[in-house]
Amino acid sequence: MVSRHRWRVGFKWLLLTAVSLAWGILFYRNYWNAAVPAFGEISMHLIRLRSVFWRYLGVGTLIAGMWGFVAIRQRVQKPSDTRHERIRHRGT
C-alpha cells in the first residue's frame, strides 16, 4: 500500500516537472523570441507581445498553484500505514 502511494506521489512530481519544463520552453520560444520585431509596425508587435505575455503568465500561475497544492498535500497527508494501524486497533 505504501509503495503504491509513493509511486503516485512520484508520478505527480514527474508530471508537474514535465508540464513546467514544457511551459518554460514554449514561453521562451513564443515570448522571448518575439521581443525584437524584424519588420512591421511596432504597435502591432507590442499588442501581440502583451497578449502572449498575459496568456503565459496565467498558465504559469496555474502551474505554480499546482506545485503548491501537491507540495502542501504531500506535507499534510499522513502515511497510510499509521492510519490503518489506528483503524485496526480501534476496538482493543
C-alpha cell at 58: 496565467
Per the CB < 8 A criterion, the answer to whether 56 and 26 are in contact is: yes
pLDDT digits (tens, 9 = 90+) for 51-66: 777 777 787 788 888 8
How many independent structural domains does the chain possess?
1
Domain residue limits at 18:
2-88
Centroid of chain to Cα 73:
14
Question: If pLDDT is split at 50, 70 and 90, which confidence band does 73 have?
Answer: confident
The Cα-based distances of 43 to 12, 35, 49, 75, 92 in angstroms read 42, 12, 10, 48, 75
Report which of 58, 6, 71, 63 is spatially closest to residue 31, judged by C-alpha positions.
58
